[in-house]
Amino acid sequence: MIKTTVDTEHDLTIHKCSGSLIEQELMDTIESFYGGNPTLYTLWDFSNASFDKISNEFLRQMFSIVQRGGSSRQGGKTAVIAPSDLEYGMARMFQIMSDNDAFPFKIKVFRSYDEASQWLLSKE
């Protein structure tokens, strides 16, 4: 399940995920985010979620959608919280793909909420 909240004061969207994630729900959330008025900053919290049903091919599809919609977030940041190894590894693959592709915003993966929020709201 994915619960999305928007903090307009900080131009931040938070996607809090739980349980075994389903590819279609992730896709719908991403398409809805980029199809609307996306915030400059985004936090994906996978602390209570599992990627056990997410394929590498789906990650590539997601990457293409984020890449196409990313121009609307020029100079923004996306922080990903993934404390467990599988989710951290897959999120890092996504981050590395974005680094190699000169994304218009930064993506960084963290193991804890504190580290992620500190980086996300910093002026770096």
For residue 14, the one-letter residue type is I
Rounded-to-integer distance, Cα 49 and Cα 51, Å: 7
Q: What is the CATH topology of the domain spanning 2-121?
A: Transcription Regulator spoIIAA (3.30.750)
Task: Answer whether 70's CB lies under 8 Å from 42's CB.
Answer: no
Q: What is the model's pLDDT at position 19?
A: 94
Average pLDDT of the residues in 21-46: 93
| Confidence check: pLDDT of 106 > 70 | yes
Q: For residue 80, what are the β-bridge partners?
A: 44, 109
Instruction: Give the model's pLDDT for residue 70.
Output: 82
What is the DSSP annotation of 48-106?
EEE-TT--HHHHHHHHHHHHHHGGGGTT-EEEEE--SHHHHHHHHHHHHHHHHTT-SSE
Q: What is the pLDDT of residue 78?
A: 94
Give the least confident one: 38-47, 77-86, 92-101: 92-101
Compute the mean pLDDT over every residue in the chain, rounded to the nearest whole number.
90
Q: What is the pLDDT of residue 23?
A: 92
pLDDT at 101: 67
pLDDT surpassing 70 at residue 4: yes
